[in-house]
Amino acid sequence: MIAWKFLAEGGIAPFTGFRWPADGGWVGAPAERSDVWIHACRLRDLPHWLGAELWTVELTEPVQERRYQVVAPRGRLLGRVTAWDGAAAGAYARACALRARDLALPHLEPALRDALAGAAELEAIVAAASPGGPEPAPRAALLVADAARYALRAGRAPVAVPATAAYIVATLASTVGDGLAAFEAERAWQARWLEERLGLADRAAPLDADAPVGFA
C-alpha cells in the first residue's frame, strides 16, 4: 500500500525520535505487536498529522485501518513530497482562515457579518472579528480571529502553527454545525486542499515482500 507520513526535519519520527533511512531502507516491527507498527496516513488523515516533512511511504500487508491513520508491520520511505514547504504551509493556513470566515458569516449578527464579509486579508479579518466594545464577541467570531492570527504566523513558524489554525477551523465547523459530523467534514475539506495543492493522489504499487527489514 502507498501512503504518506509526516516527519520532523531530518526524517525523524516526531514521537519516537527514530530517524528514517532516506535511501528507502525497510523499517519494521514485530508482527505480533501491532501497537508498535509503522504509522502512516491516507489522504483523508493528512490534516491530523502535519509535520515539517511529508514523505510518500510504502507499507506491507497486513495493513490495518484505524480512525485517523493506517498501521503496518513494515514500511519504507519512497520519496519526499517537496511541495510541502513553508510556502505551502502558509497558504494552507491562510486558506483555512478564509474558510473560517465564510463558515462563521451565516451565524453572526448583521453588522459583524457585514464587516467580516468585507475583510479579505488576514489582518482585516482579525480586526473585523475582534470589534471590541462592552459586549464580548460571539464564539464563532473569536474562533475566526484566532484562525487568522495563527495563519499570519504560518510559513515562518513551526508547523504546529498551521496545524493549530486548521484545528481551530474544524472546531468552528463543529460549533456552528452538527458537532462531530461537521468537524469531520471540515477535515475532509482540508485533506482535499492538501491533495490538490501538493499534487497527491491515491495510487497502488507492487509490494516487495522479500525485501530485508530493519527493526526500529
Q: Max Cα separation, the chain?
A: 69
Same domain, 61 and 115: no
pLDDT at 207 over 50: no
**Residue 210 in this model has a pLDDT that exceeds 50:** no
Residue 80 to residue 83: CA distance in whole angstroms: 9
Question: Is residue 21 classed exposed, middle or buried when 0-12, 13-18 and 19+ CB atoms within 10 A define those classes?
Answer: middle
Quote the CA–CA distance of 101 and 144 in Å, as a whole number.
6
Contacts of residue 160, Cβ cutoff 8 Å, sequence gap at least 6 = none
User: What local confidence, expressed as pLDDT, does residue 214 receive?
Assistant: 35
The number of domains in the chain is: 2
Tell me, yes or no, whether 124 and 191 share the same domain. yes
**pLDDT for the residue numbered 157:** 64
Mean pLDDT computed over 142-162? 86
pLDDT at 68 over 70: yes
pLDDT at 131 over 90: no
- In this structure, the answer to whether residues 62 and 121 fall within a common structural domain is no
How many CB atoms are located within 10 Å of the residue 108 CB?
Answer: 20
Q: Residue 201: what pLDDT?
A: 78
Closest C-alpha to 142, from 121, 116, 162:
116
Mean pLDDT on 22-47: 90
Q: How many helices (H) and strands (E) does the chain have?
A: 6, 8
- Residue 204, pLDDT > 90, answer no
Task: Identify the domain containing residue 65 by its residue range.
Answer: 2-81+200-215
In a shared domain, residues 38 and 60:
yes
Residue 140 has pLDDT above 50, yes or no: yes
The set of cell numbers assigned to 68 is 485517523
State whether 127 and 153 are in the same domain.
yes
**pLDDT for 159:** 78
**69 pLDDT exceeds 60?**
yes
* Mean pLDDT rounded to a whole number for the chain: 88
Does 91 share its domain with 193? Answer: yes
| Shared domain check, 157 and 73 | no
